[in-house]
């Protein structure tokens, strides 16, 4: 989970030279090595690659991450159960490698399900196509991401590379330079957003397994039946006839989803809207008095989210990033509406258990959630 920004990939990673793609095999439906090569190429040569430009970033973000953790805990009451937050400054390739590692772990069961026919004539072609598509997506996103809390790696392997808050150096520096941002304020503001996400997942004991469970539920129900393509095509035609955008709900994933997957995706979308909106709200509240430029930072970021045009806009819609961008605004509106009715005490009920998480329909109609919480309280 992260904030988006500008930037471009140097083949040498600040995060280390380990290549997660090397562990792939021919039975895997995704060519991970190709995914990495395509991602690095798509990321382009990044600006501010020289060490002199990066000087001091490690120290700055280590300090900002520590300060942000205490500010977020004081503001939200969410304190991590996993120890102190750790920040790591990386370049675009480092971010790509971290996300490839997360994807490989998360998609392991799906790879086993779809990769059994590795001897088929089309298997090498489909593996490479999947690898290329993933590579293009990660490469493009690596030029935009400012920071990210990596929550998907949940295994015992390499604990030093888990539960990390990443900051993508060239993108942060590019944005600071382009808009003449005060680095001290901007880096703390950014750290507050990412550390808020960490507090959500490590300060609420059920959050991580609930989120991973929703994602795995979607992946478990993936059906490679070609009939799904025909059904998706019909949905596109029907949506166009109604004057709707068939990609608006969540890109290609939502388009090809079954009815069961759609229900789970709506739950996941509601959760993500809540978490992203909460992150945006807290990054301003927790930094109040310390980040006087926060309103300007927020205006610039909102304009950037809305200003993508041309091929980038189409690509953003295909991968569902347009839907993610809406999550920020919808989540903020939900939080403000709930607090207007019952203050922070009512909003805090979302952290009580998975059953209290608003669905996407409740995110868009907050009073439905407020009514549900009232009924739940009365019944208790």
> What pLDDT is attached to residue 290?
96
Closest to 150 (Cα-Cα) out of 192, 109, 202, 110: 202
Tokens of 226: 């070609």
Instruction: Name the CA radius of gyration of the chain, rounded.
Output: 21
- Considering the entire predicted model, what is its pTM? 0.80
Tell me what percent of the residues of the chain surpass a pLDDT of 70.
67
> What pLDDT is attached to residue 144?
87
> Per residue in 69-117, pLDDT tens?
999 999 999 999 888 999 999 999 999 999 898 888 777 766 666 555 4
> What pLDDT is attached to residue 232?
54
Count Cα atoms within 13 angstroms, Cβ side, for 39.
27
- Check residues 24 and 356 and name the one with the higher pLDDT: 356
Sheet holding 2-4, edge to edge: 2-4, 145-149, 164-168, 86-90
Residues 6+ away with beta carbon under 8 Å from 139 = 9, 38, 39, 40, 41, 42, 43, 96
> What pLDDT is attached to residue 9?
36
Q: Where are the domains of the chain?
A: 1-204, 206-380
> Per residue in 310-352, pLDDT tens?
444 444 444 444 555 667 788 999 999 999 999 999 999 999 9
Q: How many residues does the chain have?
A: 380
Q: Which CATH class is domain 1-204?
A: mainly alpha
Residue 167 confidence (pLDDT) above 90 = yes
> Per residue in 46-72, pLDDT tens?
777 767 677 789 999 999 999 999 999
* Backbone CA torsion sign across 63, 64, 65, 68: positive
Average pLDDT over residues 203-211: 93
b/e sequence 108-137, b meaning 16+ C-beta within 10 Å = eebbeebbeeeeeeebeebbeebbbbbbbb
- Residue-by-residue DSSP string for 167-233: EEHHHHHHHHHHHT--HHHHHHHHHHHHHHHHHHHHSSTTHHHHHHHHHHHHHHT----THHHHHHH
């Amino acid at each position: 989970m992260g904030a988006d920004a500008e930037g471009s990939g140097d083949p040498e990673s600040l995060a280390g030279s380990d290549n997660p793609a090397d562990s792939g095999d021919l039975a895997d439906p995704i060519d991970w090595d190709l995914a990495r090569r395509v991602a690095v190429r798509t990321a382009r040569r990044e600006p501010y690659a020289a060490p002199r430009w990066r000087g001091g970033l490690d120290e700055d973000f280590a300090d900002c991450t520590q300060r942000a953790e205490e500010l977020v805990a004081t503001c939200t009451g969410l304190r991590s159960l996993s120890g102190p937050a750790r920040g790591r400054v990386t370049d675009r390739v480092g971010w790509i490698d971290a996300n490839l590692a997360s994807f490989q772990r998360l998609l392991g069961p799906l790879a086993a399900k779809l990769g059994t026919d590795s001897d088929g004539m089309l298997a090498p072609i489909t593996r490479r196509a999947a690898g290329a598509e993933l590579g293009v997506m990660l490469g493009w996103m690596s030029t935009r991401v400012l920071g990210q809390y990596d929550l998907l790696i949940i295994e015992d392997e390499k604990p030093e590379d888990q539960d990390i808050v990443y900051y993508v150096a060239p993108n942060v520096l590019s944005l600071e330079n382009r808009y003449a941002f005060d680095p001290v304020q901007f880096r703390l503001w950014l750290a507050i957003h990412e550390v808020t996400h960490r507090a959500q997942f490590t300060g609420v004991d059920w959050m991580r397994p609930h989120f991973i469970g929703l994602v795995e539920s979607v992946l478990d129900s993936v059906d490679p039946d070609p009939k799904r393509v025909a059904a998706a095509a019909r949905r596109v035609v029907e949506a166009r006839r109604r004057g709707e955008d068939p990609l608006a709900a969540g890109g290609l994933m939502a388009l090809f989803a079954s009815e069961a997957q759609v229900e789970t995706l709506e739950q996941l979308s509601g959760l993500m809207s809540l978490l992203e909106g909460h992150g945006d709200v807290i990054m301003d509240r927790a930094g109040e008095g310390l980040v006087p430029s926060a309103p300007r930072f927020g205006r610039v970021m909102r304009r950037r989210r809305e200003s993508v045009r041309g091929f980038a806009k189409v690509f953003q819609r295909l991968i569902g990033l347009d839907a993610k961008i809406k999550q920020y605004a919808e989540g903020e509106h939900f939080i403000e509406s709930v607090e207007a009715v019952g203050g922070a005490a009512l909003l805090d009920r979302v952290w009580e258990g998975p059953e209290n998480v608003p669905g996407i329909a409740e995110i868009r109609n907050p009073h439905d959630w407020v009514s549900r919480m009232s009924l739940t309280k009365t019944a208790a």
